Amino acid sequence: MVAARTFQAVDWYITEMSDNGSAAPVCLQIDQVWKIFGNRPERALTMAESGSTRADILKATGCTVGVRDVSFDVMRGETFVVMGLSGSGKSTLIRCASRLNEVTKGRVLLDGDDLTAMSEDELREVRRHKMSMVFQHFGLFPHRRVIDNAAYGLEVRGVDKGERIERAMEVLEVVGLKGWENHYPQQLSGGMQQRVGLARALTVDPEILFFDEPFSALDPLIRRDMQDELIRLQETLQRTIVFITHDFAEAIKLGDRIAIMKDGAFDQVGTAAEMITNPQTDYVREFTKDIPKTKVLTAASVLMDGDSTAATHRVHLEDTIESVLPHLLSDLSPVGVDDVEGTAVGIVDRQAVAHVLEAEE
Amino acid sequence: MTEALEAPVGVGARRLDRAAVSWLILGAGVIGLQLLFAGRTFPAIWDTLISGPIDQFEAWGRSNRLTHPLFTGFFQPVTDVINWGLTAIEESLLWLPWFVLPVAVFAIIARNGNWRSGVVAGLAMVYPGLVGLWEPTIETLALMGVSVLITVAIGVPLGVLAAFRFRFEQGMRPLLDAMQTIPAPVYFIPMLLFFGIGKVPAAVATVIYALPPVVRLTALGINKVPVAAVEASRVFGSTNRQTLVKVQAPMALPTIMTGVNQTIMMALGIVVLATLLAAGGLGQEVMDTLRLRRPGRGVAAGLAIVAVAMVLDRVSRSLAERDRSKQIDKRWVLGGLAVLGGLVVFGRATGAVAFPTVWGVRILDPLDAIVVWARDNLSFITRPLNDFVVADVLLPVRDFLLLSVAWPVLIFVTAWLAWKWKGMGLAIFSAVSLLVVGFIGMWELSIITLVQVIAAVLVSVAIAVPIGVWAGRRPKVEKALGPILDGLQTIPSFVYIIPVVMLFTIGQVPGLIASVLYAIVPGIRITALGIRQVPNESIEASQTFGATPRQTMLGVRIPLAAPTIMLGINQVIMMVLAMVIIAGLVGGGGLGFETVNAVVRNETGLGFEVGLAIVVMAMILDRITQSWAERLQPPATP
Ligand SMILES: Nc1ncnc2c1ncn2[C@@H]1O[C@H](COP(=O)(O)OP(=O)(O)OP(=O)(O)O)[C@@H](O)[C@H]1O
Ligand SMILES: [Mg+2]
């Protein structure tokens, strides 16, 4: 059921993208992945496939179901966010995707190559050239200077010293650490340490970046800085990103699409707006409850057919309701909506906005 | 509801029954065995079971040393390599002008800004020369150097292996545990068999004895590297080798260096004892002066050992220090090396190489006189004390355990304790190994040693626990004691014997006093730690109920600290045992004295039997007291 829903979402996304004319091939494909921790995964797997709950399986077999039949695709250049409560299996999922954990069942395809079937050597090659990761507790090397931390990926790849230092310096400058390259990580603040983690991941110029709650250990102000920084970087770099968080606000801010995870499985996959206007489970509703909808929903989500030529105010499809509201309040008439090219596509009126805002109260 | 209440009562009642039964078993066993065996000595039916074959093997070895491949193909090459290393180090240290060494010691320590410590260590390095002991000191340093190099070369790879191969670690652990409980002189015995006497067997014994800390701490250091760092390394496509070399090893380095520091201190401890194997060096110097009745020189030589210990400790700690912010410029390092090089050239050019005779006999003779004077004038205390301890304590207790109590009773009681505190496995092990010790004819010697251990442990605990409790409650006291205890802990065990021998001449009592002095340090340390670790909330809870300080102490602090204090007592027992054995060197009697006899008279078979008895005693004492400490631990909350 969940899988089917996921594919719908993917289909929608592909259509959406191709409509815009920029075909985005799939970068990472997670195909019915299971991860079971413990000594008797086979039994646990049989039980789980016949529908037993996580708790029952734990009691009967002593095995923990970390990831339960999860499937999704991430397009090239997309930021895919996985969120869920502590223990829901987010880390396990991302670790399966990078094969830090072996999957119990299922496949992980990167550029169409099956990571789970690779030998150690093949896997190492892929890791050296295609992926990198940023960790929640940074995972920096305290015995190496910032510059040597950043250059690590190139170093293990065998790039010679001058070249890797040069490249690492460039990246350190991009993440705002110029001048700190000869310090040791302990001499830096938490936010700066995570910038080092980010630099280390970017230096190898990976196709895909895995982020496991990279900003959770930072305090709120620095966290916001880092989020903005990542958005800024992503605008120019256009990498494929899988990002884990337990903070829905962060998910909305960074994610093109969001998956909500519970007990090892996906509850719902979609855009932030979809989650808010149409939560498919109570768990999802719980997450989205405290999010100010006016900040997330856009004119597109309340768009109605209608003639907008008479409207005094005009907004774009992508504008948030928050920015549309003043126009609606200042004037009784509907607001006209244009798309990116400036063509009029419809209207938004008071009633429609009031309707979505009250929908699930 | 009622069911839930009833259940624990039932369990409690059953437990009571079991306790009663176990006491009944003890009573019945003791009385029955006493009646059956009273007045019979332990039949040494296996007298030659071990010594026979060993002596035969040794005789065979002696006549085949030059021909058999076991010797020509293995032991001889090993001997040659070690000998070569020893000579090389010793000769190059003696080739260097003497003042280079103290300056180098100073420079290494002071490079991190620890000027005072550097000056003190540099001066300490000069001291042995001042009292005319430069060459034996270099000899000791060379023996240490070779042994520590070999130990690290073997120990670090073993530690790495243990960190990566769980099975291997599992297999190593009991072996390392056992190695750490065995007193040093025992390691000399098997050396006789393969290497005879001299420096090489001393080096090999040192390597084996000093191996555990470096293996342990290497494995610990690597396991302690945060998983995130290791995974980060993997995710970037490092091979296992790259991860080990670039991430795990450098991050484990400070811990490994701590292991090396411990290894160095242990090596020094045994290298000075290797006078037994005629390995020369400072230990030999001490033994000779004692034998020649020149106690002042003995004290001077003992202090030289202390000085070397201090220098080695400071230098190895300083090398282990990895404070990144304190790192110094390469230019300073090069400058320092250039200065040292200049000193070498200067010394060689001017011929100022050997340590000049400074005071020579002028200071040493009066020193002898002073110590002799002190001994004679203190004999009004030392003589009666000695007589009292021997005649009124050690002998009566020994006779009681040896003659009045039938030997099976002692074995039974030991096994019962082992069973009660740990379980059937330890009980069987204790009983069987004690029987073997008796059957090979080591019972009487073991009892003599046991009596010494008990006496010294009782005195040590009576001193250490109160001081430890006091220090644990008063941070100021602990802070003041800290450096003294630190210093005492770096002094090799052998040195403790010197001052007491000076005052008491030889016999059992100086050994006991040295044991007490040696063992109270960890006793105080660990007791203070236990008291300090008692959670403040528990103390405050007790105080809010209006408990007096005394009530809080007896009712809360001591019970909560008891498991840790018990571990301290376990340490005290092991250290006392080690020292009682070492005291064999000065006529301490019992197993220790017999070890010395065996080594000196080259009775290797006897040596093995004594060694076995010591190992058995060490393991039983260690396991039983440790399980006692574990039982004092409050049950873990579910
Ligand atoms: N190596 C392991 N062995 C056994 N169980 C594990 C292991 N790693 C994770 N688990 C279990 O798998 C489940 C999911 O853990 P996971 O770390 O993926 O959660 P998470 O969503 O990342 O949580 P958090 O937000 O706290 O990081 C948990 O119940 C955890 O106990
Ligand atoms: Mg996690």
Looking at this protein, which amino acid is placed at residue B113? G
Q: Is the dihedral of CA B372, B377, B379, B385 positive or negative?
A: negative
Q: Is A337 part of a structural domain of the chain?
A: yes
| Residue whose CB lies within 8 A of the most ligand 1 atoms, among A61, A64, A82, A267, for a mutation test | A64
Give how far the C-alpha of residue B208 lies from the chain's centroid of Cα atoms, to the nearest Å.
Answer: 13
For residue A112, report the phi and psi dihedrals to the nearest 5 degrees.
85, -5
Q: For atom 5 of ligand 1, which residue has the closest CA?
A: A37
Q: Where residue A190 falls among pLDDT bands split at 50, 70, 90?
A: confident
What is the rounded average pLDDT of the residues B86-93? 91
* A211 beta partners: A134, A243
Q: Is A161 part of a structural domain of the chain?
A: no
Q: Does A164 touch chain B (CB under 8 A)?
A: no
| pLDDT: which is higher, B17 or B460 | B460
CB contact under 8 A, A143 and B253: yes
Give the mean pLDDT of chain A.
85
Domain holding A345, by residue range, is 296-360
For residues B304 and B135, what is the distance between their CA atoms, to the nearest angstrom? 12
For residue B472, report the phi and psi dihedrals to the nearest 5 degrees.
-65, -30
Q: pTM value?
A: 0.81
Q: Where residue A126 falls among pLDDT bands split at 50, 70, 90?
A: very high
Q: Does A100 touch chain B (CB under 8 A)?
A: yes
Q: Does A124 touch chain B (CB under 8 A)?
A: yes
Domain definitions of chain B by residue range = 52-369, 443-632
Pairing assessment for the beta strands A208-212 and A105-110 based on DSSP bridges? unpaired
CA distance B247 to chain A (A): 7
Q: How many CB atoms lie within 10 A of CB B227?
A: 11
Give the mean pLDDT of chain B.
86
Rounded to whole angstroms, the maximal C-alpha distance in chain A is 69
CA distance A335 to chain B (A): 51
Where residue A64 falls (left for φ over 0; alpha for ψ -120 to 50; beta otherwise) is beta
- Work out how many domains chain A is built from and give that number: 1
Given B229, B242, B253, which is nearest A156 (Cβ)? Answer: B242
Dihedral over alpha carbons B152, B155, B159, B161 (to 10 degrees)? 110
| Residue whose CB lies within 8 A of the most ligand 1 atoms, among A85, A90, A103, for a mutation test | A90
Residues 453-512 of B with CB under 8 A from A: none
Q: Give me the percent of chain B exceeding a pLDDT of 70.
A: 95
Among all bound ligands, the one having the nearest atom to the CA of A93 is: 1
Pairing assessment for the beta strands A105-110 and A26-37 based on DSSP bridges? antiparallel
CB contact under 8 A, B228 and A137: yes
* A259 beta partners: A82, A269
Looking at this protein, which amino acid is placed at residue B581? I
Given A132, A142, A155, which is nearest B235 (Cβ)? Answer: A132
CATH fold match for the domains B52-369 and B443-632: yes
For residue A69, report the phi and psi dihedrals to the nearest 5 degrees.
50, 60
What is the rounded average pLDDT of the residues A109-138? 91
The CATH number that applies at residue A323 is 3.10.580.10
For residues A226 and A138, what is the distance between their CA atoms, to the nearest angstrom? 14
Q: Give me the percent of chain B exceeding a pLDDT of 90.
A: 29
Q: Where residue B359 falls among pLDDT bands split at 50, 70, 90?
A: low
Q: What is the pLDDT of residues A35-61, one digit of tens each?
A: 999 888 898 899 988 888 888 889 988
The superfamily CATH assigns to domain B443-632 is MetI-like (1.10.3720.10)
* Cα angle A11, A17, A18; round to 5: 90
Contact B455, B512 (CB under 8 A): yes
Q: Which of the residue ranges A112-126, B55-69, B380-394 would you say has the lowest mean pLDDT? A: B55-69
Measured from the Cα of A84, ligand 1's closest atom is 21
As a whole number of Å, the CA-based R_g of chain B is 27
Q: Reply yes or no on whether the pLDDT at B321 is more than 50.
A: yes
Dihedral over alpha carbons A186, A188, A193, A199 (to 10 degrees)? -110
Where residue B582 falls (left for φ over 0; alpha for ψ -120 to 50; beta otherwise) is alpha
Ligand 2 centroid–CA B248 distance in Å is 23
Given A128, A132, A139, which is nearest B228 (Cβ)? Answer: A139
Q: What is the ipTM of this complex?
A: 0.77
What is the rounded average pLDDT of the residues B18-32? 86
Contacts of B229 in chain A (CB under 8 A): 139-142
CB contact under 8 A, A124 and B229: no
Contact B579, B496 (CB under 8 A): yes
Q: What is the pLDDT of residues A266-320, one digit of tens each?
A: 999 998 888 888 888 888 888 887 777 777 788 777 888 877 777 778 888 778 8
Nearest partner of A247 among A257, A260, A238, A234, judged by Cα: A260
For residues B99 and B118, what is the distance between their CA atoms, to the nearest angstrom? 15
Give how far the C-alpha of residue B400 lies from the chain's centroid of Cα atoms, to the nearest Å.
Answer: 30
CA distances from B58 to B47, B61, B62, B65, B362 (A): 18, 5, 6, 10, 47
CB contact under 8 A, B237 and A153: yes
- Residue the block writes with tokens 């996985």: A82
Q: Where residue A24 falls among pLDDT bands split at 50, 70, 90?
A: low
Q: Which of the residue ranges B11-20, B111-120, B171-180, B198-207 would you say has the lowest mean pLDDT? A: B11-20
Q: Given this model, what pLDDT does residue B191 score?
A: 86
Classified as helix, coil or strand, B128 is helix
| pLDDT: which is higher, B470 or A19 | B470
Q: Is A193 in the pocket of ligand 1 (CB under 6 A)?
A: no
* A91, A119, A152, best to mutate vs chain B, most B CBs in 10 Å: A152
For residue B226, report the phi and psi dihedrals to the nearest 5 degrees.
-55, 135
Q: Is A52 part of a structural domain of the chain?
A: no
Nearest partner of B415 among B19, B18, B25, judged by Cα: B25
Q: Give me the percent of chain A exceeding a pLDDT of 70.
A: 93
Helix (H) or strand (E) holding A70: strand A64-75
For residues A284 and A84, what is the distance between their CA atoms, to the nearest angstrom? 9
Q: Which of the residue ranges A69-73, A112-116, A136-140, B72-76 would you say has the lowest mean pLDDT? A: B72-76
Q: Is A120 part of a structural domain of the chain?
A: no
For residues A88 and A260, what is the distance between their CA atoms, to the nearest angstrom? 9
Q: Reply yes or no on whether the pLDDT at B100 is more than 70.
A: yes
For residues B524 and A17, what is the distance between their CA atoms, to the nearest angstrom? 74
To the question of domain B52-369 being in CATH 1.10.3720.10, the answer is yes
Q: Given this model, what pLDDT does residue A331 score?
A: 78
Nearest partner of A141 among B157, B252, B156, B214, judged by Cα: B252
Q: What is the pLDDT of residues B132-171, one digit of tens each?
A: 889 999 999 999 999 999 999 999 999 999 999 989 988 9
For residues B111 and B282, what is the distance between their CA atoms, to the nearest angstrom? 29
What is the rounded average pLDDT of the residues B392-414? 88
Q: Where residue B323 falls among pLDDT bands split at 50, 70, 90?
A: low
Q: Where residue B4 falls among pLDDT bands split at 50, 70, 90?
A: very low
Contacts of A210 in chain B (CB under 8 A): 235
Q: Given this model, what pLDDT does residue B360 score?
A: 61
Strand ranges for B487-608 from DSSP E: none
Q: For chain A, give me the number of helices (H) and strands (E)?
A: 16, 13
Token digits for A293? 């909808």
Q: What is the pLDDT of residues B509-565, one digit of tens each?
A: 888 998 999 999 999 999 998 888 888 888 888 777 777 788 888 888 888 888 888
